[in-house]
Structure 1
Amino acid sequence: MIALDDLPPLREVIARHGLAARKALGQNFLLDLNLTRRIARSGGPLSGHVVIEIGPGPGGLTRALLLEGADEVIAIERDPRCLPALAEIAAAAEGRLTVIEGDALDVDMAALIASRPARIIANLPYNVATPLLVGWLQTDPWPPWYRSMTLMFQREVAERIVAPPGGKAYGRLAVLAQWRTEPRILFDIAPRAFTPPPKVTSSVVQFEPRHNPLPCDKRALERVVAAAFGQRRKMLRSSLQALGTDPAPLLEEIGIAPTERAERVSVAQFCALAQALERMRG
């Protein structure tokens, strides 16, 4: 049996299996094992944990997660072309790699880990990165089934996730991410590290769940944030009319000027607005 350390180089695997990355699937493969191991290590201690990986492709990060000591890696891959390459890693991993063919948006990941300590570590396909993140942020009950998330995004998306109030990058994604987690950018990855090279820089972002986030109904928060940033250039007294109620009493209760704009409202204030909306609707 081939050991993990003895598996052939990824470029050879890609050539042998004809794994040209497909733009339609948001694929950009990371082949540098030193870099994938850095990503794996940045996810936190892996021993004693199950790791969920999305879009493993030919398995560069998958190998790194196993080599860095994950008890088990559960890799979810929708591209059937990649399954033979992943099967080779599974054979060398001696029962520590489970590959699931399917769309990660449709998979019940909490059921897969069966209450074991888990982390999510993934080079997310660009075209599903944001919906996957929002789904994980809206997990119930909270604290979530995962201990942490270490995810790769386009740099622009990463900056939107960690943006403070007051700038153009601050918006819905920042509020949702910062309400329940503490996100931070760990490091950037240049386009040349990928095959094929994307046109933009990527960033690895770590999310540590807050064990006691501000009390807030997630659906109400989503409605308030969508209304506020849906017309972000307008004052809140105008944009929040999309909620179907007079926003003036809500703003007055929280102490926010009706002439304020969404990008200057803090996460705590958005949570307070959501709670006030829920009380008003009884």
Structure 2
Amino acid sequence: MGTIDGLPPLREVIRAHDLVAKRQLGQNFLLDLNLTAKIARSAGDLSGCDVLEVGPGPGGLTRGLLAEGARRVLAVEKDARCIPALEEIAASAPGRLEVLLGDALEVDVLAHLTPPIKVVANLPYNVGTELLIRWLSAPWPPYWSSLTLMFQKEVAERIVAKPRTDHYGRLALLAQWRCNVAIVMVLPPEAFTPAPKVHSAVVQLTALAEPRFPCDFGVLQRVTAMAFGQRRKMLRSSLKGMGPGIEGLLESVGIPPTARAEEIGLEQFCALARAVAGQNEALPRA
């Protein structure tokens, strides 16, 4: 769409504000504005949306989101050192960027955003998965229409994985139950400052109006956590904590008790979650 005029190159911003990336904050700064613009574009049309950005750092992606026409951007940053650099961007885009100093795990972002809302972020590695689980755990349909998020490539592969693959597990099931998911970009370590030891990838998660198959989210979480917590064991063993009738429940939904978690697809896991919930409702209450 365009650029935010009058701003210095990001390397100058980092020098001016002494923004040495901190490992304990999971910081790896993306300084190539062509790449940050490409990430912003991958989120689709932003012109009618508020955008939540978590961990903006010196503001490379923030600039891209504003340049691509985001109606408003809420940038939540935990590192107070980055706030002056972000405020310089806000001054160049009056009324379109709000900067909050705080922990994204604790901030009430809905007090600052107006739907429709998209989330676009180069997530700090140390909280990325936890934030994703929280966004997927929200009442459905969620307040956001899509998540465009950068993770370590291995985490991204876990989100989009299919059954009978090495990366398939609970994260894939929870994400694909409620969203369409796809990896839209892969970035090498040298794209970042400092360079991490691994590749990174941008994942697009688009919220479905309703989950693909009916079941209770909490029960699905428990079933998949137990099943993949001991993924090499047969399900009759890994799920025995669900109760003495687990073999019968597995058979009732067409899952062989001798199968392993990595062999079972989303629809069958949802069916099992419904069966477990039904069994719990049938139990006598004390």
TM-score of the aligned structures, taking structure 1 as reference length: 0.97
Bigger Cα displacement from structure 2, 100-109 vs 6-15:
100-109
Equivalent pair of 1:46/1:68 in contact (CA under 8 Å)? yes
After TM superposition, the structure 1 = structure 2 runs for residues 35-50 of structure 1, keeping only pairs within 5 Å, are 35-50=35-50
Q: Using the alignment, how far apart are the partners of 1:220 and 1:106 within structure 2?
A: 25
Aligned pairs for 1:178-193 (under 5 A) are 178-193=176-191
The one-letter code of the counterpart of 1:132 is L
Residue type of the alignment partner of 2:46: L
Count of equivalent residues: 278
* Mapped partners of 2:180, 2:111: distance in 1: 25
For residue 56 of structure 2, what is the aligned residue in structure 1? 56
SS at match of 1:160: helix
Written as runs of structure 1 = structure 2, the 5 A alignment for 1:77-96 is: 77-96=77-96
Higher helix share: 1
Alignment correspondent of 1:226: 225
- For the residues of structure 1 that align with 2:248 and 2:58, how far apart are their CA atoms? 55
**Is the partner of 1:120 in helix, strand or coil?**
strand
**Pick aligned residue for 2:205 from 207, 217, 241:** 207
Partner of residue 193, structure 2: 195
Residue 5 of structure 1 corresponds to 5
Paired residues of 1:29 and 1:58 also in contact (CA < 8 A): yes
Separation in 2 of the partners of 1:181 and 1:110?
21
Residue 68 of structure 1 corresponds to which residue in structure 2? Answer: 68
Which letter maps to 1:194? F
Percent identical residues: 60
TM-score by length of 2: 0.95
Q: Which residue matches 1:105?
A: 105
Say whether residues 1:32 and 2:32 are aligned partners. Answer: yes
**SS of match in other structure, 2:233:** coil
Q: Any idea what the Cα deviations from partners look like across 1:20-47, whole Å, max 9, x if unmatched?
A: 0000000000111111000000001000
| Structure 2: distance between partners of 1:51 and 1:120 | 6
Q: Deviations over 1:60-109 (max 9, x none)?
A: 00011001100000000000010010110111111100011111011222
Give SS of 2:205's match: strand
CA deviations 1:207-256 (Å, max 9, x no partner) are: 01111211111100010001100111100000001224431121011010
Query: Are 2:154 and 1:156 aligned?
Result: yes
Show structure 2 runs of 5+ residues with no match.
282-286
CA contact (8 A) 1:223 1:243 kept: no
Distance 2:221 2:244 in 1: 16
Cα distance in structure 2, aligned partners of 1:102 and 1:244: 42
Query: In structure 1, what is the Cα distance between the partners aligned to 2:183 and 2:4?
Result: 30
User: How far did residue 196 of structure 1 move?
Assistant: 0.4
- Map of 1:125 onto structure 2: 124
Distance between the aligned counterparts of 2:192 and 2:177, measured in 1?
32
Question: What is the SS of the residue equivalent to 2:239?
Answer: helix
